[in-house]
């Protein structure tokens, strides 16, 4: 019997007990026993363990060294837009403390760091003259990462659109923004690709376009009528495609490019053939305006029919740019969408028990560890993608330091243990997931939720800027060291 534990060969993992002194949490318990790992539960050799942040959420230094204003500066400074009027003016002060933060990563043992570049630092007006001092921050950060053996993975757009582009033409409502984004992407690739070998174009179309231009709960706080909104969606994916081309044209040979999308992760309600096929159909349709058009170079018939006269206007050349070949696909995965097969025209329905469904501190963050299996599985199956990264996964919890100063975030550990077990299941099935970036390295500015919903492995005291590893940091360090969850 394969699952007879007594017949497995266990691997003793040297060094797990010797956790860094920078990780004082539960140190005595960690030092006690050498760990054993069942080979069937290992992640593939060379699996890339990382952590992630984004510029506006951690950097602070909002007016320093020539940075121009972004739509998030404007939005967060508008009364009533964020919880307690929080802004990213200071955030985690990472702009000044990045060296300390790189040491946090080193103590965790991560081999890669996903961060974002603030467009308004590099082009304060979005376009026109670059600001070399802005780019210099990323030169310093990248050099520090490499000196500490950590691979930089840079995201070019994590929502901090230069305000000037919003003021002139309505931001992503205008095709000019797609083109300006490509120029900025090409410029950054030209200057950083000697050391940054992996770029993500855009982070989460499914959040910044939907929440910013349709639901008005994110910057720039708009509620566009359907035709203008669909056109905005189109300009966002067009910006991605043009940026891929600009990176390829300007970067050092061998530079790799992908995206980081919060796709709707369709999981079958029961893992049988009918529901599994329904989840595949749902994956294409529920991601039609973003991932599907990027992968297939066309909008689905159902999307266009549903939009009717409000469908986006586009050319064949647009679609070709949007579907420019990628080196990898990044997926941000937090919650599942449960799908069942039915005899409706599209052959699926999304379902969920409304009132008792479990979630983390953020009410949108409903729990479903299976998402880390079905997300990459569907991307690999439907679009034959050969290289996948989980570019974000993690959760918010109501972290409160105990008397000894440590946050015992057992709920986050439970969340991570279960999600990561399903990710390991994916790799064991041969699904080509190459790495995982945990969101987030440290607590930070959680957009409209301000500083109330903490996602970090490190607790940040915003009065003193002191960072303290939580229990989950110790957990993650062990996962990395063992290359295994259990
Ligand atoms: C997705 C976003 O990319 C990130 O900025 C955000 O903080 C996390 N999800 C958690 O909401």
The CATH number linked to 140 is 3.20.20.80
Q: What is the pLDDT of residue 37?
A: 81
Residue 455 Cβ inside 6 Å of ligand 1? The answer reads: yes
To test the ligand 1 pocket, which listed residue (72, 391, 439, 444) has its Cβ within 8 A of the most ligand atoms? 439
- What are the per-10-residue average pLDDT scores of the chain (486 residues)? 34 37 46 67 98 99 98 99 98 99 98 99 98 98 99 99 98 98 98 99 98 98 98 99 99 98 98 98 98 99 98 98 99 98 98 95 97 99 98 98 97 98 98 99 98 98 98 98 95
Between CA 359 and CA 255 the distance in angstroms is 39
Q: For the purposes of burial, counting CB atoms within 10 Å of the CB of 354, is it exposed (0-12), middle (13-18) or buried (19 or more)?
A: exposed
Residue 54 Cβ inside 6 Å of ligand 1? The answer reads: yes
Distances (CA, A) of 329 to 248, 264, 440, 469: 16, 14, 19, 30
Between CA 306 and CA 276 the distance in angstroms is 24
Is residue 255 classed as helix, strand or coil in its secondary structure? coil
Strands 433-439 and 466-469, by their bridges, are unpaired
Cα angle 318, 323, 325 (rounded to 5 degrees) comes to 135
Distance from the first to the final alpha carbon of the chain: 20
Q: Measured on CA atoms in the order 240, 245, 248, 250, is the torsion positive or negative?
A: negative
Residue whose pair of structure tokens reads 């002194």 in the numeric block: 21
Is residue 175 classed as helix, strand or coil in its secondary structure? helix
Is residue 11 classed as helix, strand or coil in its secondary structure? strand
To test the ligand 1 pocket, which listed residue (290, 392, 394) has its Cβ within 8 A of the most ligand atoms? 392
To test the ligand 1 pocket, which listed residue (359, 445, 447, 449) has its Cβ within 8 A of the most ligand atoms? 447
Residue 446 Cβ inside 6 Å of ligand 1? The answer reads: yes
Tokens of 253: 């040979």
pTM: 0.94
- 81's CB contacts (< 8 A; 6+ apart) are 75, 221, 448
Domains in the chain: how many in total? 1
Q: What is the pLDDT of residue 39?
A: 85
Residue nearest to atom 7 of ligand 1 (CA): 446
Tokens of 350: 């999304």
Residue whose pair of structure tokens reads 């097969």 in the numeric block: 341
Residue 260 Cβ inside 6 Å of ligand 1? The answer reads: no
Residue 228, Ramachandran bin (φ over 0: left; ψ between -120 and 50: alpha; else beta): alpha
Ligand 1 atom nearest the C-alpha of 260 is 3
Strands 35-37 and 11-13, by their bridges, are antiparallel
Q: What is the pLDDT of residue 56?
A: 99
- 343's CB contacts (< 8 A; 6+ apart) are none
Residue 442 Cβ inside 6 Å of ligand 1? The answer reads: no
Domain that residue 460 falls in: 3-482
Q: What is the pLDDT of residue 35?
A: 61
* Residues designated as active site: 204, 392
Between CA 360 and CA 397 the distance in angstroms is 6
Q: What is the pLDDT of residue 172?
A: 98
Q: What is the pLDDT of residue 135?
A: 98
Tokens of 90: 């200071």
| Best CA proximity match to 164, nearest among 127, 112, 203 | 127
Between CA 71 and CA 222 the distance in angstroms is 12
CA–centroid distance, residue 454 to ligand 1 (Å): 11
Neighbouring CB atoms inside 10 A of 442's CB total: 25
Residue whose pair of structure tokens reads 């409502």 in the numeric block: 173
Q: Measured on CA atoms in the order 128, 131, 132, 137, is the torsion positive or negative?
A: negative
Between CA 483 and CA 295 the distance in angstroms is 31
Q: What is the pLDDT of residue 13?
A: 40
């Amino acid at each position: 019997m394969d699952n007879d534990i007594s017949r497995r060969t266990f691997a003793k993992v040297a060094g797990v007990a010797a956790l860094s002194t920078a990780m004082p949490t539960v140190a005595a318990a960690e030092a006690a026993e050498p760990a054993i790992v069942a080979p069937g539960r290992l992640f593939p050799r060379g699996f890339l363990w990382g952590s992630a942040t984004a510029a506006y959420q951690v950097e602070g230094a909002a007016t320093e060294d020539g940075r121009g204003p972004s739509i998030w500066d404007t939005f967060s400074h508008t009364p009533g837009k964020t919880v307690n009027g929080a802004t990213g003016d200071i955030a985690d002060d990472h702009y000044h403390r990045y060296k300390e933060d790189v040491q946090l990563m080193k103590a965790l043992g991560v081999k890669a760091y996903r961060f974002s570049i603030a467009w308004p630092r590099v082009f304060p007006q979005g376009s026109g003259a670059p600001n070399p001092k802005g780019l210099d921050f990323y030169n310093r950060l990248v050099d520090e990462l490499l000196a500490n053996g950590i691979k930089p993975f840079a995201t070019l757009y994590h929502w901090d659109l230069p305000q000037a582009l919003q003021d002139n033409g309505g931001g992503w409502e205008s095709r000019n923004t797609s083109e300006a984004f490509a120029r900025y992407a090409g410029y950054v690739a030209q200057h950083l690709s000697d050391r940054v070998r992996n770029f993500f174009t855009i982070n989460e179309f499914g959040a910044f376009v939907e929440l910013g231009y349709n639901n008005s709960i994110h910057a720039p706080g708009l509620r566009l009528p359907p035709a203008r909104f669909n056109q905005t969606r189109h300009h966002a994916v067009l910006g991605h495609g043009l940026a891929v081309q600009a990176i390829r044209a300007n970067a050092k040979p061998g530079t790799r490019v992908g995206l980081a999308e919060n796709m709707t992760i369709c999981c079958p309600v029961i893992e049988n053939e009918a529901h599994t096929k329904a989840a595949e159909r749902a994956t294409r349709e529920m991601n039609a305006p973003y991932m599907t058009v990027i992968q297939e170079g066309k909008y689905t018939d159902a999307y266009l029919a549903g939009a009717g006269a409000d469908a986006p206007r586009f050319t064949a050349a647009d679609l070709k740019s949007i579907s420019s070949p990628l080196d990898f696909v990044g997926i941000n995965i937090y919650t599942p969408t449960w799908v069942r097969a039915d005899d409706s025209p599209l052959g699926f329905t999304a379902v969920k028990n409304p009132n008792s469904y479990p979630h983390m501190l953020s009410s949108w963050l409903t729990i479903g560890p299976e998402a880390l299996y079905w997300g990459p599985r569907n991307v690999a199956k439907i679009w034959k993608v050969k290289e996948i990264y989980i570019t974000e996964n993690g959760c918010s919890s109501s972290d409160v330091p105990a008397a000894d100063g440590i946050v015992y975030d057992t709920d986050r550990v439970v969340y991570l243990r279960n999600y990561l077990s399903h990710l390991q299941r994916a790799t064991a099935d041969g699904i080509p997931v190459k790495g995982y970036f945990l969101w987030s390295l440290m607590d930070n500015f959680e957009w409209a939720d301000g500083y109330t919903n903490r996602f970090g492995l490190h607790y940040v005291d915003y009065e003193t800027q002191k960072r303290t590893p939580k229990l989950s940091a110790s957990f993650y360090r062990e996962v990395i060291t063992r290359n295994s969850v259990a």
